[in-house]
Amino acid sequence: MVLVKKPFLMVNPKVYLFGDEIVQLAKVADKLAQKYQIDILFTGSLIDLPRIKAETSHLIITAQHMDAVNKGRGMGHVLPESLVAAGVQAVVLNHAENQLTLNVLAKTLKRAKEVGLYTIVCGDSIEECRAIAQLNPNMMICEPTSLIGTNKTSDDQYIIETIKAVKGINSNILILEAAGVSTGDDVKKVLRLGADGTGGTSGIVCADNWEKQLIEMINPLKLCQGGE
């Protein structure tokens, strides 16, 4: 299983990009991951992940979902073993746009761990983050659903309390605070408040210059890394 080093960045294009465009962004991120020696988790649609893997060398290739199925029957579901065979190293679960019940999440986490995938689980409220932490994922994305895609970051109290809630259950879980993060100042804020890393979607993919935008977000991470 991949080990993610903090501070880290997640580039999460969702389905804003596909095909040649998402590969182009992946190559930019790949170059910067090598240059700045920063762990970058890069997500993509399932159909794009093998090509992204083939055309990059320094990214942590991350699926946006998988299912708790085993080889055999399961039409239309995402088999964990197929992700591993395609070179995927991590998986995001329970995003606000693809939510799971706690029972299904627990089963899916179990399957991910069986095949050696690094598990990243999203949580909304402080209470939900605390409950999910008891399932012991490798990483959690803590962000209020209402702020996703708004360019408005979580307030200080939310960031502090979600980190406290998760770390109080399992201090080894890495925490990504990401809602609305799109600038270097946003990154500085979440790191100052205790996040292990951050990430973005629209703030990156909608930028006029992807490389410039990513460098702006990476610079505070690098400074934090240098201070560890």
pLDDT tens-place string over residues 145-176: 766 555 566 789 999 999 999 999 999 999 99
DSSP 181: -
Q: In this predicted structure, what is the pLDDT of residue 1?
A: 86
What is the span of the domain harbouring residue 189? 8-226
Q: Give per-residue burial for 110-122: e unless 16+ CB within 10 Å, then b.
A: ebbbebebbbbbb
Q: Average of pLDDT values for 62-87? A: 95
Distance CA 199, CA 182 (A): 8
Q: Which of 6-20, 27-41, 141-155, 170-184 has the lowest mean pLDDT?
A: 141-155
Determine, yes or no, domain membership for 74: yes
Assign residue 101 the CATH number of its domain: 3.20.20.70
Determine, yes or no, domain membership for 203: yes
Q: In this predicted structure, what is the pLDDT of residue 154?
A: 74
Instruction: With cut-offs at 50, 70 and 90, classify the pLDDT of residue 189.
Output: very high
Q: Which residue has the tokens 């693809």?
A: 98
Judged against a pLDDT cut of 80, whether residue 227 lies above it is answered with no
Instruction: With cut-offs at 50, 70 and 90, classify the pLDDT of residue 182.
Output: confident
Judged against a pLDDT cut of 60, whether residue 228 lies above it is answered with no
Extract the runs of DSSP E, i.e. beta strands, from the chain: 8-11, 40-44, 60-63, 90-93, 118-123, 139-142, 174-177, 197-200
Judged against a pLDDT cut of 60, whether residue 80 lies above it is answered with yes
From the candidates 55, 65, 81, 95, which is the catalytic residue? 95
Determine, yes or no, domain membership for 3: no
From the candidates 128, 143, 177, 216, which is the catalytic residue? 143
Q: Average of pLDDT values for 8-32? A: 97
DSSP 182: -
Q: In this predicted structure, what is the pLDDT of residue 146?
A: 61
What is the value of pTM for the model shown?
0.93
Judged against a pLDDT cut of 80, whether residue 110 lies above it is answered with yes
Q: In this predicted structure, what is the pLDDT of residue 50?
A: 97
Judged against a pLDDT cut of 70, whether residue 226 lies above it is answered with no
Q: Average of pLDDT values for 123-138? A: 95
Q: How many helices (H) and strands (E) does the chain have?
A: 9, 8
Determine, yes or no, domain membership for 1: no
Counting the structural domains of the chain, the total is 1
Q: Is position 95 annotated as part of the catalytic site?
A: yes
Determine, yes or no, domain membership for 2: no
Q: What is the mean pLDDT of the chain?
A: 93
Q: In this predicted structure, what is the pLDDT of residue 150?
A: 54
Judged against a pLDDT cut of 90, whether residue 84 lies above it is answered with yes
Determine, yes or no, domain membership for 176: yes
Distance CA 4, CA 9 (A): 10
